[in-house]
C-alpha cells in the first residue's frame, strides 16, 4: 500500500492521533471504532460493543457479568468493512490469559480468553492491534467492567442445637473468595458465630447460649463491586437470616477445642485435647465415647481426663477406635455404662498424599510430574482425608478445586504455571505443611520451525522456511560465502515457548558429474531464545551460539572454487537425542551453480564436407567435396535451463579449418581458412564416439576467397 493511500484512509476514518505517530508506524483508534465486539459466556450472547456501553463509576465501559473464577470467555470480533485490514491481535494483559488469538472464520474473528482474577481486576482495558500491513498498526482499546453477582445458596430450615453446642453450616457459593470474611468470632448474649472460607462455600459456625428460637442476620459484603441495574455499583449482598432452635440439654454438652481429630489405628497412641470443664466431670477418669445414648453403642474413642487448666478447660487424652463425622450424630461420654455427657467432633483419617498424577491439556494422565511455564493442567491426588484438608500448590495461578469429582480419597485440581515462574519446583502443602510432593518446572524444549534461521549465499538473507527452498535454487554467480544467522527473537513467540534449539547440520559439495567433493557434519549448534523473551532470564546460556556460521570455514573445497553446475546441499535438522527421540524439523537446501554458456577449445575432424567457394569478380561458385580436415575452434556451448548441467545439442565456434589436412592424395587442394562454424551433436553423455554435423563459412587464406561449408565430422569424448 502506498503511503498516500494509508494517510488518506487514516484521515478519512478519523481514528488517529497525530502525524508523527503515523510516521512511526503505530496509531491509536479514537472516535469511530474499528473493532466491534460480542462477548459470550456460558454459550449465550452476553454484551456487545459499542452498542451496550454504560457509564459506571464515571467511566464509559462495557459491563460483563462473570459467573466463576478463571472463567473462559469467547470473543466474536468484527472489523469495520474495509479491504485493507490484514489481521487483528489481542494485546497481552495481566487481567486475562489469551488462550487463542483471533482466528478468521466466515465474516468475523473468534478468540478465547481466560480471566485471571475478576475479584482483583474489575475495570480492564482490552487492547486490539489491527494491522493494515507489516508496518502500520491501529490500536483499538475497549474498556470492560467484569462484575460478579455472588449467589449464596442456603436451606432456610431451622438449625436445631443444644445449649452451648457448636454447629457448622455450609453456605454454598461458587466464588467464596469474592465475599469479605474476617474469620473472627462475633459474640452476642444469645449466640456466638463466625464465618470462614471453605471449598465452594462459606463455613458458618454458631454456638447458642440462650434457649429458644433465635435469628442470626448476616449482612455480607463483596470484595469487588457488583452492578445494580445498568449503572450503579454496590458491595452489599442481600441479607441472609439463619434460624436456630436452641434446646436445653438433658445431658450436659461439652465442647471440644478441636472440630476434627485424626484417627490413629495404633490403639496405644493417644493425643491431647481440651474439653469444657464441668463440676460433674471427674478427673483422672476414663470415659467411653459411643455413638448411641443407650447401651450397646459402637465404641468410637476413649477419653481420659488429666487435669484442669486455667481457661476453664480440662486437659484430656483421647484414644480413637473408629471414624466419625459430626453429621452422623452426637457422641456420648459414658462412665460405667451410664451416659454422663454429650459432645460432637470429627474423627477423620489423617490426611496423606499417596500418589500424584497430572493431566496436561490434550494429553493423558501421567506419573511424570514435569510441568512447563504457561501450561494449564489438571492434578489428581490419591490418599486419605482430603475432605477435611486444605491443599495448596505453591506458586501457581488459577487454582481450582473440582468438588464434583473429588472425594475424601481422591482430589482434583486445575491450575496454571505462571509464564514468569521463577522457582524450579511447585511444592504441595497439606494443611499448610510441606507434603513432600512437588512438581518440577522445566523450560520448554520443543522444536521450532526454522523461521529463526536465515541463510545468505549472495542474494540477501532469507528465512530457511521460505518456500524458495522447496526446490533447488539456481544461482548464476559465484558463491563467495554462505552465512547462516540465527534470530534469537523468533525462537520464543510471545507466550508460546520453544526453549533452546539444538541443531545439527550436514554440508555436501557435489560436482556436475555427481561426484562427492566434500562432506562436513556440524553438531551441537545451540540457539537460545532472546533475553527479551518472557523466559529469557531463566535459560542457561553457557552453550548458546550468538554469531553466524560461515560455511567456508569448515569446508576443504571452498564454494568460490566450484565448477559450473556443482551443487551445495545443506541439511539442517533438530538433534533428536535432545528431544526424546523425536526428529523435530528438517530443512534441506540445494544450491546449484547455474551457467548459461560454456566456453571450450574444440579439436575435431570434419570429413566429406561440401564446400562452396565464391570466386571474386567472376560471380562464379565452385563446389566440391573435401577429404578429412581438421578444425580448432574457440567454441560456445549452451546449457539447457531445465536440466542441471546438460548442454543443448548445438554450439557455435570461431577458429581455423584445415581443408584436406589429413588427405594424402597429391591432387587434394589443401588450404587453411578462418571459419565461423556451428555444430549439431548428440546430447547423450554415454557416447564416446559420435558424428556431428557442421554448418558455417569463412575465408580461405591461400585461395583468397570466401566459402560456405556443411557436412559431417568425427569427434571423440574422453
For the segment 488-498, what is each residue's pLDDT rounded down to a tens digit? 888 988 888 99
Concatenate the DSSP letters of all residues of 13-64 into one string: HT----HHHHHTTEEE--SS-SEEEEEEETTEEEEEETTT-EEETTEEEEEE
Say which DSSP state 327 is in: G
Q: Which residue has the higher pLDDT, 619 or 390?
A: 390
b/e per residue 637-660 (b: at least 16 CB within 10 A): bebeeeebbebebebebebbbbbb
How open is the CA angle 191-195-196, to the nearest 5 degrees?
A: 145
CA separation for the pair 66, 114 (Å, rounded): 11
Query: What's the pLDDT at 12?
Result: 43
Domain 159-247 class, CATH top level: mainly beta
Say which DSSP state 135 is in: S
Calculate the CA dihedral of residues 195, 197, 201, 205 and round it to 10 degrees. Answer: -30
Q: Is 333 helix (H, G, I), strand (E, B) or coil?
A: strand
Considering the segment(s) 3-148 as one domain, its CATH architecture is Sandwich (2.60)
Query: pLDDT averaged over the chain?
Result: 83
Q: How confident is residue 410, by pLDDT bands cut at 50, 70 and 90?
A: very high
CA separation for the pair 180, 194 (Å, rounded): 12
589 touches 455 (CB < 8 A):
yes
Cβ-based neighbour number of residue 702 at 10 Å: 11
502's grid cell? 539444538
679 touches 650 (CB < 8 A):
yes
Q: Which of 348-357, 528-537, 692-701 has the highest mean pLDDT?
A: 348-357
Query: What's the pLDDT at 642?
Result: 64
- Overall fold of domain 252-349: Immunoglobulin-like (2.60.40)
Give every CB contact of residue 135 below 8 A, 6+ residues apart in sequence. Answer: 25
* Burial class (CB within 10 angstroms; exposed 0-12, middle 13-18, buried 19+) of 67: middle
The radius of gyration computed from the CA coordinates of the chain, to the nearest angstrom, equals 45
Looking at residues 592-600, what average pLDDT do you find? 72
Q: How far is CA 545 from CA 486, 502, 536, in A?
A: 8, 10, 15
38's grid cell? 460480542
- Overall fold of domain 450-593: Immunoglobulin-like (2.60.40)
Query: What's the pLDDT at 23?
Result: 37
CA separation for the pair 634, 599 (Å, rounded): 7
Name the CATH superfamily housing domain 352-441. Answer: Immunoglobulins (2.60.40.10)
Domain ranges of the chain: 3-148, 159-247, 252-349, 352-441, 450-593, 597-716
Calculate the CA dihedral of residues 276, 279, 280, 286 and round it to 10 degrees. Answer: 60
Q: How confident is residue 422, by pLDDT bands cut at 50, 70 and 90?
A: confident
Q: Which residue has the higher pLDDT, 273 or 268?
A: 273
241 touches 198 (CB < 8 A):
no
Q: Please give the helix or strand (H or E) that residue 6 lies within, else none.
A: helix 3-13
Q: How confident is residue 220, by pLDDT bands cut at 50, 70 and 90?
A: confident
What predicted TM-score, i.e. pTM, was given to this entire model?
Answer: 0.52
Q: How far is CA 239 from CA 154, 207, 215, 217, 218, in A?
A: 12, 20, 12, 7, 6
Q: Would strands 705-716 and 647-659 be described as parallel, antiparallel, or unpaired?
A: unpaired
Q: Which of 164-178, 258-272, 495-509 has the highest mean pLDDT?
A: 495-509
CA separation for the pair 196, 180 (Å, rounded): 10
Residue 260 has pLDDT above 70, yes or no: yes
Q: Which residue has the higher pLDDT, 123 or 313?
A: 313
Query: How many alpha carbons fall within 13 Å on the CB side of residue 637?
Result: 18
pLDDT, tens digit, 9 for 90 and up, residues 530-585: 888 888 888 888 888 877 899 999 999 999 988 888 899 999 999 988 887 777 89
CA separation for the pair 627, 661 (Å, rounded): 8
Query: What's the pLDDT at 6?
Result: 44
Please, what sign has the CA dihedral across residues 577, 583, 584, 590? positive
* Same-fold call for 159-247 versus 252-349: yes
Query: What's the pLDDT at 82?
Result: 61
Amino acid at each position: 500500500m502506498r503511503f498516500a493511500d494509508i494517510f488518506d484512509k487514516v484521515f478519512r476514518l478519523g481514528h488517529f492521533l497525530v502525524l508523527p505517530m503515523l510516521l512511526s508506524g503505530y496509531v491509536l483508534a479514537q472516535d469511530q471504532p474499528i473493532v466491534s465486539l460480542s462477548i459470550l459466556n456460558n454459550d449465550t450472547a452476553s454484551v456487545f460493543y459499542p452498542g451496550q456501553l454504560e457509564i459506571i463509576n464515571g467511566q464509559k465501559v462495557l459491563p460483563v457479568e462473570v459467573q466463576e473464577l478463571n472463567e473462559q470467555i469467547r470473543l466474536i470480533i468484527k472489523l469495520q468493512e474495509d479491504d485493507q485490514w490484514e489481521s487483528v491481535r489481542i494485546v497481552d494483559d495481566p487481567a486475562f490469559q489469551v488462550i487463542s488469538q483471533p482466528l478468521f472464520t466466515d465474516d468475523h474473528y473468534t478468540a478465547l480468553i481466560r480471566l485471571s482474577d475478576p475479584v482483583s481486576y474489575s475495570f480492564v482495558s482490552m487492547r486490539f492491534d489491527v494491522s493494515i500491513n507489516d508496518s502500520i498498526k491501529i490500536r483499538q482499546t475497549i474498556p470492560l467492567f467484569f462484575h460478579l453477582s455472588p449467589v449464596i445458596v442456603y436451606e432456610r430450615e431451622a438449625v436445631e442445637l443444644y445449649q452451648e453446642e457448636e454447629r457448622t453450616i455450609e453456605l454454598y457459593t461458587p466464588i467464596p473468595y469474592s465475599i469479605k470474611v474476617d474469620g473472627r468470632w462475633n459474640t452476642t448474649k444469645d449466640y456466638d458465630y463466625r464465618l470462614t472460607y471453605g471449598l465452594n462455600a462459606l463455613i458458618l459456625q454458631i454456638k447458642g447460649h440462650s434457649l429458644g428460637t433465635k435469628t442470626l442476620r448476616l449482612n455480607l459484603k463483596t470484595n469487588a463491586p457488583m452492578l445494580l441495574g445498568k449503572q450503579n455499583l454496590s458491595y452489599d449482598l442481600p441479607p441472609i437470616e439463619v434460624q436456630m432452635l436452641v434446646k436445653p440439654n438433658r445431658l450436659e454438652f461439652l465442647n471440644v477445642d478441636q472440630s476434627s481429630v485424626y484417627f490413629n489405628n495404633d490403639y496405644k497412641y493417644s493425643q491431647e485435647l481440651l474439653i469444657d470443664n464441668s463440676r460433674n466431670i471427674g478427673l483422672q477418669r476414663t470415659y467411653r465415647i459411643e455413638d448411641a445414648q443407650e447401651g450397646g453403642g459402637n465404641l468410637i474413642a476413649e477419653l481420659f481426663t488429666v487435669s484442669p487448666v486455667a481457661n476453664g478447660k480440662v486437659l484430656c487424652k483421647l484414644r480413637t477406635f473408629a471414624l466419625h463425622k459430626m453429621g452422623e450424630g452426637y457422641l456420648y461420654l459414658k462412665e460405667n455404662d451410664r451416659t454422663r455427657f454429650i459432645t460432637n467432633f470429627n474423627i477423620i483419617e489423617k490426611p496423606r498424599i499417596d500418589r500424584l498424577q497430572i493431566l496436561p491439556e490434550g494429553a493423558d494422565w501421567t506419573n511424570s510430574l514435569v510441568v512447563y511455564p504457561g501450561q494449564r493442567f489438571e492434578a489428581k491426588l490419591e490418599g486419605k482425608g482430603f475432605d477435611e484438608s486444605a491443599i495448596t500448590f505453591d506458586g501457581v495461578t488459577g487454582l481450582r478445586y473440582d468438588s464434583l469429582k473429588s472425594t475424601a480419597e481422591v482430589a482434583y485440581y486445575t491450575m496454571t504455571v505462571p509464564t514468569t515462574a521463577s522457582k524450579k519446583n511447585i511444592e504441595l502443602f497439606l494443611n499448610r505443611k510441606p507434603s513432600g510432593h512437588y512438581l518440577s518446572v522445566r523450560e520448554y524444549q520443543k522444536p521450532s520451525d526454522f523461521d529463526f534461521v536465515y541463510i545468505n549465499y549472495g542474494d540477501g538473507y532469507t528465512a530457511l522456511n521460505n518456500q524458495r527452498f522447496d526446490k533447488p535454487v539456481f544461482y548464476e554467480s559465484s558463491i563467495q560465502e554462505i552465512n547462516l544467522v540465527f534470530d534469537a527473537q523468533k525462537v520464543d513467540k510471545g507466550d508460546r515457548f520453544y526453549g533452546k534449539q539444538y541443531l545439527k547440520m550436514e554440508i555436501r559439495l557435489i560436482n556436475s558429474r555427481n561426484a562427492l567433493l566434500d562432506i562436513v557434519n556440524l553438531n551441537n549448534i545451540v540457539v537460545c531464545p532472546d533475553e527479551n523473551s518472557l523466559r529469557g532470564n531463566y535459560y542457561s546460556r553457557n552453550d548458546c551460539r550468538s554469531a553466524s556460521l560461515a560455511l567456508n570455514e569448515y569446508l576443504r573445497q571452498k564454494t568460490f572454487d566450484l565448477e559450473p553446475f556443482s551443487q551445495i546441499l545443506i541439511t539442517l535438522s533438530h538433534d533428536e537425542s535432545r528431544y526424546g527421540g523425536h526428529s523435530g524439523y528438517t530443512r534441506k537446501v540445494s544450491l546449484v551453480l547455474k551457467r548459461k554458456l560454456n566456453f571450450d577449445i574444440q579439436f575435431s575432424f570434419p570429413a566429406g564436407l561440401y564446400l562452396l567457394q565464391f570466386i571474386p569478380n567472376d560471380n562464379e561458385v565452385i563446389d566440391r567435396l573435401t577429404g578429412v580436415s581438421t578444425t580448432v575452434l574457440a567454441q560456445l556451448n549452451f546449457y539447457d535451463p531445465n536440466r542441471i548441467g546438460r548442454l543443448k545439442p548445438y554450439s557455435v565456434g570461431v577458429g581455423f579449418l584445415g581443408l584436406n589436412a589429413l588427405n594424402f592424395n597429391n591432387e587434394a587442394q589443401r588450404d587453411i581458412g578462418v571459419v565461423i562454424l556451428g555444430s549439431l551433436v548428440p546430447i547423450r553423455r554415454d557416447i564416446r564416439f559420435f558424428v556431428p554435423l557442421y554448418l558455417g563459412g569463412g575465408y580461405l587464406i591461400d585461395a583468397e576467397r570466401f566459402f560456405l561449408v556443411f557436412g559431417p565430422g568425427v569427434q571423440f569424448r574422453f
